Amino acid sequence: MTIQKGKYNLVIYRETTEDNQRGKHIRSFYPEFRGGDFEPLPRPGSTPVVRPINDVQMQSGAVVIVAALSNPEGSESGEWVELQNASPETISLEGWFLTDKVGRRLMLDGTLAADEQKQFLVRTNSPQSMQLGNSGGRIVLYQPDGSMVASVFYNRTGEGEVINF
């Protein structure tokens, strides 16, 4: 079903009768977010979403997101995000992090020299690890203090297709 541009599945729990059969009445239900033109409300304990995706696209900081591979050929182990230092000075990325559309993080380290571009491998080690969705998503870059530096979103891509921002 669609609710305010978001696509949802409705998960429904029915009552159970005394002989363990499914009853006629709904006991409980909840919507399960499946995608759309905005982000769902955050899960408890996650980073809150305060604006829709379209309101937070930006690429004006010292470091910008220049490319990504969200749908590698073969397996999902080859996903990456490429950053570029647009400033004339070397920037330390210690404590900087990237997030996906639901706020899962990829911690960064190392440095970016002036005008250097570098790819960062996205490893999906756990459900809490950053993941690049094959059907589209969002990539956000933050400084250690939580300030947003860059934010881009992308649509579905073909297998092995690099997204340039």
Tell me the per-residue pLDDT of 57-108, one tens digit each, with 9 for 90 and over.
Answer: 778 789 999 999 999 987 667 899 999 999 999 999 999 999 998 889 999 9
Q: Which amino acid, residue 3?
A: I
pLDDT at 45 over 90: no
Q: List, edge to edge, every strand of the sheet that includes 80-85.
A: 117-121, 80-85, 63-69, 163-164
Task: Give pLDDT, residue 57.
Answer: 74
Domain tally for the chain?
2
Question: DSSP code of 95?
Answer: T
Verify that 69 and 147 share a domain, yes or no. yes
Dihedral in degrees, nearest 10, Cα atoms 114, 59, 104, 13: -170
End-to-end CA distance of the chain: 32
Verify that 91 and 130 share a domain, yes or no. yes
Task: Give pLDDT, residue 101.
Answer: 86
Verify that 7 and 85 share a domain, yes or no. no
Contact partners, residue 83, CB within 8 Å, separation at least 6: 63, 64, 65, 66, 112, 117, 118, 120, 141
Verify that 112 and 156 share a domain, yes or no. yes
Q: Specify the pTM.
A: 0.65
Question: Average pLDDT of the chain?
Answer: 83
Verify that 142 and 68 share a domain, yes or no. yes
Task: Give pLDDT, residue 53.
Answer: 45
Verify that 31 and 61 share a domain, yes or no. no
Residue 44 covered by a domain: no
Q: Give the integer Cα–Cα distance in Å for 87 and 150.
A: 14
Residue 42 covered by a domain: no
Task: Give pLDDT, residue 54.
Answer: 47
Residue 45 covered by a domain: no
Q: What is the CATH number of the domain that holds 64?
A: 2.60.40.1260
Verify that 152 and 115 share a domain, yes or no. yes
Residue 118 covered by a domain: yes
Domain that holds residue 133: 53-164
